[in-house]
Amino acid sequence: MLSRTQLDRYPAKMVSKLADRLVDRYASNASRILDPFCGSGAVLTAANRRGIPVTGVDVNPIAELFSRVKLRGFNPSRAVSLARELVNAASGSVKPLPIEWAGKDYWFTPATVSKFERLRGAAHELKLSRSADGIAVLLGLSLSVRLCSKADQRSPKPFISKEASENRKGRHFDPYTTLLGVLEDLGSSSACVSSHRDSRFLLSDITSDSFAPRIAKHSHVITSPPYINAQDYFRNFKLELYILEGLLPFRVEDLRTRFIGTERGDLLAGIPKEILNANCETLPSLKALDRRTPRLAAVVHRYLFDMSRAFENVSSFMEHKAQFILVCGDNLIGGVRIRTWQVLRHMLERKGFILFEMFSDPIANRMLAPKRSGHKGLIKEEVVCAFRKSNARQG
């Protein structure tokens, strides 16, 4: 049986203990909470359990699966039955839906690839994305992908380590039996069986100039945005994304450069020169980083540009004097320590938000693995900054 951590192995997620604390401390009387970088839905779940309406936004289709299952719930017995129907169809005469990825044979044995492609064909025929139970089966399928791969199982980033080569290379991991086992474990997890229906999830890019959904105003925003270069979200999820492409409304190629904090693509495209100069004034260490490692400096510039646009969009969906609770820490980029939380704090203050409370939450308090706490390149604490919205803006 998989543990709850194995069922929700979303990288760099907000831990449920902190999400519960933030909702209780700041939003117990909220009319509606927005998390614009919701990931696997820790904040949404904490609010949902308290009967607070929520809206989640994320560009990652895997986040959509986690959040929809947690918020809308599903019938465990029907989901398992549907998974069995899926496996039976895949084992029969169903037409396979090919995985359009040249690297698939590197990560999976030919037999595993064949079974995943038959599962994809059956899932397409069954139109799983149209029902809550079907979405749960798709989540189970995504959780089965890493378990059936040659990748090392200990890291959120897929790689084939020496240990994985010795223990997994050449072995056949059966997606059919793995999927059924995952669905049974998922159905027994109370975190994934919800009854509150006043919730909404948007699979969308909050940084986009065209982000303009018709959603209600929110009294609270609680979120932990992506970190600069701390996680390559595309690489972390590429195995699952290629398996799910064609079953959910996204194209893998469209997502490669859309995750905030990425090193991919033309990072400075579309950023005016005056903004690049302003970034260097806000963050003096950026000039030195630019001289030493221009590519990493471009990652920071793109991150700041994207976050500024995200905050503009978020602000438009907040009530007057709404609260914005931001959770963020520091980053180590090319050997330069960047106080990301401080930069984002100043960004929000320039947009008219007023800081009214701040405290730190040490990673050690969250009972994570000791080797993570001791890693010099990883975040040792996060800072919670609580703001109130104001119409006034600084120059």
Each residue of 90-118: pLDDT tens digit? 999 999 999 999 999 999 999 999 999 99
Residue spans of the domains in the chain: they are: 17-54+203-225+260-395, 74-193+231-255
Residue 353, Cβ neighbours under 10 Å: how many?
Answer: 25
Measured between alpha carbons, how far is 173 from 3 in angstroms, rounded to an integer?
A: 19
Contacts of 25 (CB under 8 A, 6+ apart): none
Instruction: Pick the more confident residue, 361 or 318.
Output: 318
Question: Where are the alpha helices (H) located in 148-232, listed in sequence order?
Answer: 162-167, 175-187
Name the burial class of residue 303, with classes exposed (0-12), middle (13-18) and buried (19+) by CB atoms within 10 angstroms of its CB.
buried
Residue 334, Cβ neighbours under 10 Å: how many?
Answer: 17
pLDDT at position 5: 57
| Domain 17-54+203-225+260-395, architecture per CATH | 3-Layer(aba) Sandwich (3.40)
Using alpha carbons, select from 178, 188, 191 the residue that is nearest to residue 69.
191
Q: Predicted confidence band at 199 (pLDDT cuts at 50, 70, 90)?
A: confident
Each residue of 219-260: pLDDT tens digit? 999 999 988 865 678 888 999 999 999 999 999 999 988 888
Q: Kindly calculate the radius of gyration of the chain based on its CA atoms and give it in whole angstroms.
A: 21
Instruction: Pick the more confident residue, 47 or 170.
Output: 47
- On the question of pLDDT at 6 being above 90, the answer is no
Q: Which two tokens stand for residue 104?
A: 């698939």
Contacts 24+ apart (CB under 8 A), 81-85: 82/126, 82/128, 82/133, 82/134, 82/137, 83/137, 83/140, 83/179, 83/180, 83/183, 84/180, 85/126
What is the arithmetic mean of pLDDT over 47-65? 93
Rama region for 170: left / alpha / beta (φ>0; ψ in -120 to 50; rest): left
Cβ–Cβ under 8 Å, residues 139 and 244: no
Each residue of 261-317: pLDDT tens digit? 888 889 999 999 999 999 998 888 898 898 899 999 999 999 999 999 999 999 999
pLDDT at position 394: 53
Name the burial class of residue 269, with classes exposed (0-12), middle (13-18) and buried (19+) by CB atoms within 10 angstroms of its CB.
exposed
- On the question of pLDDT at 377 being above 60, the answer is no
**C-alpha distances in angstroms, 154 versus 12, 147, 161, 238, 256?**
14, 11, 10, 16, 24
